[in-house]
Amino acid sequence: MLKWLLFDLNSFFASCEQQEDPSLRGKPVAVVPMLTDSTSVIAASIQAKIFGIKTGTRVGDAKKMCPGLILRSGNHRIYTQYHHKILAAVEEILPIKKVLSIDEVACELIGRERILENATVIAQRMKDHVRKVVGSEIKSSVGIGPNILIAKMASDMQKPDGLIIIPKDLIRTKMGHLPIEAIPGVGRQMKIKLNAKGYKIVSDLMNVPEHELRKHWGSIWGLRVAKELQGEDMMFRESSPQNSFSHEHVLPPEYRTLEKSFQIMIKLLLKAATRARREKLKAGGLGMSIRFTDRSRFENEISFLETDDTQFFMAQLRKLWQPLFASAAQERPMKVGIVLTDLTDGPDQLSFFDSPKAAQRNEAMDIINDRFGANTLFIASTKEVLNTAKTRISFSHVPSLNDEFDAGD
């Protein structure tokens, strides 16, 4: 039985660039965080992938692989705008059950939509409609199957511009030969571990005793994957609340001092605190990291009672940072990062560290910045770094259209 449709956008960031700039169409394009050879490719266009360029390829290597490669600095506001346009277009064909990432959504098929012929027509209509409404360069691959895992794997089997349908009774025939890493969530380390146990292709995981799966995977996730590979729909669940919010930033040369890097770290902390309050979460821990040009690192963390107060977070960050001024005064920082951890649903009552005045201040700042734009109100100590460390999109996190993006995005 068919139940889930997975709509997966092909080379999404690069396709947005090609849609915006007709001169890029049909050409190899790589989206990068900044225009230097030392960074890595965020996304490659369909034409660039022909040369072997993919997400994570070093820019210097990518230029050698494709001398005609065109680089574009990430235009994250545009990607977010396209994301929301695409969601609206998809919903005109089928209701979206879950937004899985910036470039993937899942739709549940019901009634006669689950009939093979009808599902095929719906999928093709969705692909065509998105290209017609959003843009001709916005290509997609659609996978349809009895559960989300199979639908996702099906969408990966034919790129670009694919449409693959895998009924439950054809899973082993159509997917059994695929390498184990074709299963979403099986990374390099998990592949090595499973290969060592004799699991090398997808069919190796079918019909494995439950106790063996628990032993080799170390969690019930492996058991769930195995059942889904057999076609079971393990009751699609909303993802559990996120347990951390993290932000990091590679410092431009002019910001590679301890003072400036600390200012940028405060700015990253403000972004994380705003995200937490937007999702009505409080944090019980804070971590920070800094990497220097000589590749050495400094990391520190602290725990506390749950709060969402920006001023409190800033005070804790200063404590974490203090050892650096004595031990690394001569070092040149290259990359900084912060993480709010131990996130919990924010209770209505104030915690020990919260105060009514702090809550009112945070709420007022969030409302004004949402209404009038990021940095309408800002912390004074971040004034000199307002034009850096702006919002970047990861594939798993879709920012709000009200977030701060790079100038010109």
Domain of residue 168, CATH code: 3.30.70.270
Band of residue 75 on the pLDDT scale cut at 50, 70, 90:
confident
Band of residue 2 on the pLDDT scale cut at 50, 70, 90:
very high
Residues 11, 149 within the same domain: yes
Q: Does some domain include residue 405?
A: no
Q: Does some domain include residue 402?
A: no
310's enclosing H/E stretch is helix 310-327
pLDDT tens profile 162-193: 999 999 999 999 999 999 999 987 877 778 88
Q: What domain range is 223 assigned to?
A: 176-234
| Per-range mean pLDDT, top range of 206-220, 241-255, 347-361 | 241-255
Residues 169, 258 within the same domain: no
Q: What integer pLDDT is reported at residue 383 of this predicted model? A: 45
pLDDT tops 70 at residue 311: yes
Q: What integer pLDDT is reported at residue 407 of this predicted model? A: 43
Q: What is the CATH number of the domain that holds 345?
A: 3.30.1490.100
78's enclosing H/E stretch is helix 76-91
> Among 151, 175, 199, which residue terminates a domain?
175
In the chain, how many domains are there?
3
39-58 mean pLDDT: 94
Residues 40, 168 within the same domain: yes
Residues 203, 295 within the same domain: no
> Among 200, 234, 268, which residue terminates a domain?
234
Tell me how far apart the alpha carbons of residues 264 and 261 are, in angstroms, rounded to a whole number.
5
- Contact (CB, 8 A) for 306 and 285: no
Query: Considering only 62-66, 118-122, 274-278, which range has the smallest mean pLDDT?
Result: 274-278
Residues 296, 322 within the same domain: yes
Strand partners, 283: 307
Residues 166, 263 within the same domain: no
Q: Does some domain include residue 395?
A: no
Q: What is the CATH number of the domain that holds 213?
A: 1.10.150.20
Residues 47, 73 within the same domain: yes
pLDDT tops 60 at residue 342: yes
Q: Does some domain include residue 401?
A: no
pLDDT tops 80 at residue 409: no
pLDDT tops 60 at residue 121: yes
Single pTM value for the model: 0.63
Pick the closest to residue 120 from 102, 145, 139 (CA basis): 145
Residue 228 or 243, more confident = 228
- Could you identify the residue written with the tokens 């649903």? 345
Band of residue 400 on the pLDDT scale cut at 50, 70, 90:
low
Residues 212, 156 within the same domain: no
pLDDT tops 50 at residue 147: yes
Q: Does some domain include residue 392?
A: no
Residues 38, 109 within the same domain: yes
Q: Does some domain include residue 119?
A: yes
pLDDT tops 60 at residue 213: yes
223-233 mean pLDDT: 87
Q: Is the peptide bond before 160 cis (omega within 30 degrees of 0)?
A: yes
pLDDT tops 60 at residue 96: yes
Tell me how far apart the alpha carbons of residues 17 and 289 are, in angstroms, rounded to a whole number.
32
Q: C-alpha 371: how far from its chain's center?
A: 25
Q: What integer pLDDT is reported at residue 391 of this predicted model? A: 47
Residues 26, 136 within the same domain: yes
Band of residue 299 on the pLDDT scale cut at 50, 70, 90:
confident
Cβ-Cβ contacts under 8 Å for 65 (sequence gap 6 or more): 51, 52, 53, 57
Residues 25, 75 within the same domain: yes
Q: What integer pLDDT is reported at residue 109 of this predicted model? A: 94
> Among 158, 175, 192, which residue terminates a domain?
175
Residues 91, 218 within the same domain: no
Cβ-Cβ contacts under 8 Å for 207 (sequence gap 6 or more): 230
Amino acid letter, 61: D
Q: Does some domain include residue 398?
A: no
Q: Does some domain include residue 171?
A: yes
Q: What integer pLDDT is reported at residue 187 of this predicted model? A: 77
Tell me how far apart the alpha carbons of residues 342 and 75 are, in angstroms, rounded to a whole number.
31
pLDDT tens profile 125-135: 999 999 999 99
